[in-house]
Structure 1
Amino acid sequence: MNAYQESLKIKRDNYSALESAELRGEQRGQKQGIEIGAEQEKREMARELKKEGLSIDLIARTTKLSVEEIQTLI
């Protein structure tokens, strides 16, 4: 009976560890996705501001992108 109880405990511990790891992975993935989306949004905003004729320096200060990166945008 003790061996059975111990095996159940091990099984539950392993399951709990796996669930925790999956949750941490999902949270990391969501955070990375948000960061990537924010960078894409900055580039799109910089592209639009550049089309409107705003200065590169002003766009760089507004979007926190580098001047070099803004210059490469179409």
Structure 2
Amino acid sequence: MEKIDKKTTEAKAKGRIEELSLELERHNKLYYLQDSPEITDADFDRLFRELEELEADYPHLVTTDSPT
């Protein structure tokens, strides 16, 4: 049985949180400031929910500038 490394898992979560935050910020700007969305509302909502779930699982990784 493979041992799960909590630090590795947390590091992956941190990376994904950062990635999602940047992606959501970019899509917000495209939608609201440039009126030029690149993804559907449903896709945006899926990314947003993924970020919310990660932040709920790792609340100490939530940043003050999070889009959630």
Larger radius of gyration: 1
Task: State the TM-score, normalized to the length of structure 2.
Answer: 0.49
Task: State the TM-score, normalized to the length of structure 1.
Answer: 0.45
Structure with the higher helix share, 1 or 2: 1
